[in-house]
Structure 1
Amino acid sequence: MTNTITTRRQAKARAMELRAEARQQGKSLSHARALEAVAHELGYRDWNTASARLSNQPEIPLQVGERVTGRYLKQPFNGRVHAVRELAGGLGFEVTLHFDEPVDVVEFESFSGLRQRVSAMVSEDGVSWDKTSDGIPHLIVQREETFLV
């Protein structure tokens, strides 16, 4: 696992794994000691060094200009990332997308509501917390190469 750690978020997840493993063995491992252990696994002197080095790696799942695909208000789209902003504390991201073709977000046949540029707050997995009345996320977005929606 340690050879795939490139971000602080991944390193902290590894520290939680180490703590869980210690608990299963009936041992106690503080969060600080787990972070130090992860730093050593990665070849760093201590957690502060590892954290400083890893913090230079991007943790944003989407980059400006990147091709994306997904669903907006249940409608499929392809487009580009126009803007990305990390929300406070790394809770998620505000993304602005520009669709290649406008998406009709109205389900009624009597009129249309076309959208070509939208903004939404999403988790690091690219799924919005806001949902339609039937529980479907407003936005599901991911890189075009890894489309799984």
Structure 2
Amino acid sequence: MSDIETRLAELGVTLPEAPVPAANYVPFVRTGDLVHISGQISMRDGELVLGKLGADMEVPEGTAAAKQCAISLLAQVRAACDGDLNRLVRVVKLTGFVNSTGDFTDQSKVINGASDFLVEALGDAGRHARSAVSAASLPMGVAVEIEGIFQIR
């Protein structure tokens, strides 16, 4: 078990198997020491987390959905590192998409669910640049989708 997975276990988190793509794309692309992870959608216990912030979902539910996206991102990083999560150097950038109404303005609070979790799990290596944007809808009606760029060794 990697040091990162030990820390995740202390937080009560077990990484799932890396989710497979739902369409014609690859889950990640390695280029040099960077791994670009395709958008990970909000899932909990194998079920989609559906909803629209500002309509039928509140910020705390969206924050939890974003955390689940971050867990999937780390699962993809582990796959990109051939199972050795200790190769992860840092989180470089996240782009978070929030399925929300036109008047919803707390996208950053929702995506904090991913950002806060990554810092808690990885310490300073989890600090990253970020964008948090609204989307009129997301694939399959999910609440949140997050893509990321990670530096590995």
TM-score bracket for this pair, using the shorter chain length: under 0.3
Using the size of structure 1 for normalisation, the TM-score is: 0.25
**Which of 1 and 2 has higher RCO (CA within 8 Å, sep 6+)?**
2
- Indicate the structure (1 or 2) with the bigger Cα radius of gyration: 1
* Structure with the larger helix share: 2
